[in-house]
Amino acid sequence: MAWVTEAEVREVAPELDAALTLTPFITTAESVITAHCSGLTITQRAVVDRWLSAHFAFIATGRAANEKADVVGQGYQYKVGLYLENTMYGQQAMLLDTTGGLAALNARMKKGLAKSSVEWLGESVD
């Protein structure tokens, strides 16, 4: 059961490429939330899912830290780190997770005590 739609993820991250399919990132976010955020209501899960899905999408596609065209430019002011702190979306997901599960996961990853993995459940195409 999906907690959010692609359109809802794009509401928090409108700069995502419109051609990018977000389903894999939503599925990944929901898997992480299920594993590490027990105690959230469905509504809370959906809110965290939007931000965590955007985090995974930006990890996969990258995001410019500064953009400039001739003399016109734009910069973004926020601090990033590694793991869930790598994007402002991951930071926001940790903030919105009232169980502290994502922050605890991030702390364990920093210490090298947790590893993330993704299991492919699709069919192999030869």
Q: Which of 103, 86, 104, 85 is nearest to 94 (CA)?
A: 103
For residue 117, pLDDT beyond 50: yes
Per-residue confidence band for 53, with pLDDT thresholds at 50, 70 and 90: very high
| Distance in Å from the first CA to the final CA of the chain | 29
For residue 105, pLDDT beyond 50: yes
Percent of the chain with pLDDT over 90: 63
For residue 122, pLDDT beyond 60: no
Q: Which of 109, 122, 101, 115 is nearest to 38 (CA)?
A: 101
69-96: pLDDT as tens digits: 666 665 554 556 788 998 999 999 999 9
What pTM did the predictor assign? 0.78
Please answer whether residues 48 and 94 qualify as being in contact, where contact means their C-beta atoms are separated by less than 8 angstroms: no
Which helix (H) or strand (E) covers residue 94, if one does?
helix 88-96
Domain boundaries, the chain: 6-110
